[in-house]
């Protein structure tokens, strides 16, 4: 995989990026044999098209990369990654990109080198790119490494990515960056007052656990909380088979916060970072928790269980309540939490909830800059009544089917206390291949958050 930039090479093949309305002018400035070759090959500079122009020795002299029109580009991202996938092995350098597009395209080129090959050989891009002028190479490579970690964790099936395996992945990350890590497992969760994490995970063979990682000694405090449901059968409210097929990705929130943590630590941001991951499997057994049960959370709130398939908010609730006890400067949860979010915005957008105008402004600006799209959803307080069942303080699965993502976010907000808080209800899966984003696990929102953190935390 070519997941890092190539060393500068004077013989790197130039890749000229040409918009459709600029092709005629570019051709006019070329020797006749080049112009004739390009025209004969039918190259129109349409988005995603390419043309390899040979030298007199039959080597590649130059690659033309079609960049289409602004309208065509608005329908996607990482456009040059598709061209990178088609190029033969070699070292290339970009020419003709505007300053506002070069970081996105360079990152996409690197991500084209990703393939999940743990179980079968794959064919990622083999064309290496020299870091373009203006691109911070080490930063881009750190971002790619974090994204690769996220994708690998999500893509790994539950047979090899249970709670113990997720713990091991966290331990590897902590070791790589000198972070401290503590883990509370099994019955110790009850002894240390994490009752809902224990309850959700107690039916599985692998014990439930709370993974707690700390890094950094100075600066503002940031806590990332990731849903680590390594497989979700739905519990006693068993999912139908068609809905269970992708449930290896139900730890996508944990995978995404770990990828973001990798980026933060690799770039040595001046913050104090905490990562909390409640890692469980929602299984079926004689001791599985039941519909109708009432649980008491870490912060004392009681929760009526109306659907055991709404388990993610339960494990997150204990972790959020624990994190809120120290009142970090910012707390963010990420979870593959509700199908309602997918219905609302589809698989490409990262829906998030936050009432802090400064957070929202920083995130929206960053998301546009780094091509990591997000969409703000409402903490609609009048819907609080929908999560109050009467018999207990909270209902984990309100009846009626309305506003499922909103009510889940409102549920989580009850456990954040007075801490500045944002929640991401992500999908974590790319259902169809796209440039730099093969079908499978994918990080969502992490790059936007990384870009926005300096403004959010006043670094």
Q: What are phi and psi of 149, to 5 degrees?
A: -60, -45
Say how many CA atoms lie within 13 Å of 85 toward its Cβ: 21
User: Could you tell me how far CA 396 lies from the centroid of its own chain?
Assistant: 25
Residues 147, 114: Cα–Cα separation, whole Å? 10
**What tokens does 400 get?**
């009626």
Q: Which residues have CB under 8 Å from 221's CB, separation 6+?
A: 271, 272, 274, 326, 328, 329, 330
Q: Is 250 exposed, middle or buried, given 0-12, 13-18 or 19+ CB atoms closer than 10 A? A: buried
Contact assessment for residue 231 and residue 248, using Cβ atoms and an 8 Å cutoff: yes
Q: Which residues have CB under 8 Å from 56's CB, separation 6+?
A: none
Mutual angle of helices 252-266 and 163-177, in 10-degree steps: 10
Taking the alpha carbons of 430, 432, 435, 440 in that order, is the dihedral positive or negative? positive
Q: What positions carry a catalytic annotation? A: 239, 313
């Amino acid at each position: 995989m070519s997941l890092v930039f190539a060393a500068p090479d004077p013989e790197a093949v130039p890749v000229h990026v040409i918009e459709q309305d600029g092709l005629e002018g570019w051709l006019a400035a070329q020797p006749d044999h080049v112009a004739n070759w390009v025209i004969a090959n039918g190259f129109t500079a349409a988005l995603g098209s390419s043309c390899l122009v040979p030298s007199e020795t039959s080597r590649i002299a130059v690659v033309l990369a079609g960049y289409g029109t602004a309208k065509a580009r608005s329908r996607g991202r990482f456009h040059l990654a598709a061209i990178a996938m088609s190029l033969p092995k070699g070292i290339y350098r970009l020419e003709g990109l505007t300053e506002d597009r070069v970081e996105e395209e360079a990152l996409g080129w690197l991500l084209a080198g990703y393939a999940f090959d743990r179980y079968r050989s794959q064919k990622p891009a083999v064309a290496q790119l020299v870091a373009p002028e203006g691109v911070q190479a080490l930063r881009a490579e750190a971002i790619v490494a974090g994204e690769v970690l996220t994708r690998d964790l999500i893509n790994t099936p539950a047979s090899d990515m249970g709670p113990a395996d997720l713990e091991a992945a966290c331990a590897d990350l902590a070791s790589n960056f000198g972070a401290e890590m503590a883990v509370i497992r099994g019955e110790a969760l009850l002894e240390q007052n994490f009752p809902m994490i224990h309850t959700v995970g107690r039916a599985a063979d692998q014990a439930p656990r709370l993974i707690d990682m700390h890094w950094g000694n100075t600066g503002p405090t940031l806590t990332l909380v990731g849903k680590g449901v390594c497989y979700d059968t739905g519990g006693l409210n068993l999912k139908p088979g068609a809905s269970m097929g992708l449930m290896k990705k139900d730890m996508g929130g944990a995978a995404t916060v770990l990828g973001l943590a990798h980026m933060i630590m690799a770039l040595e941001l001046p913050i104090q970072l905490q990562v909390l991951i409640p890692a469980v499997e929602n299984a079926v057994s004689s001791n599985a928790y039941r519909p109708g049960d009432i649980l008491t959370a870490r912060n004392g709130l009681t929760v009526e269980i109306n659907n055991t398939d709404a388990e993610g908010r339960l494990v997150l609730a204990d972790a959020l309540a624990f994190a809120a006890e120290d009142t970090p400067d910012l707390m963010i949860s990420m979870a593959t939490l509700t199908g309602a979010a997918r219905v609302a915005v589809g698989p490409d957008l990262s829906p998030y909830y936050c009432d802090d105008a400064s957070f929202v402004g920083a995130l929206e600006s960053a998301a546009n800059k780094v091509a990591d799209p997000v969409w703000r959803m409402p903490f609609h307080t009048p819907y609080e009544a929908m999560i109050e069942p009467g018999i207990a303080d909270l209902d984990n699965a309100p009846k009626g089917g309305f506003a499922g993502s909103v009510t889940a976010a409102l549920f989580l907000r009850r456990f954040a206390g007075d801490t500045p808080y944002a929640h991401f209800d992500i999908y974590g899966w790319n259902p169809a291949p796209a440039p730099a984003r093969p079908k499978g696990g994918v990080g969502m929102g992490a790059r936007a958050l990384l870009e926005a953190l300096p403004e959010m935390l006043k670094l």
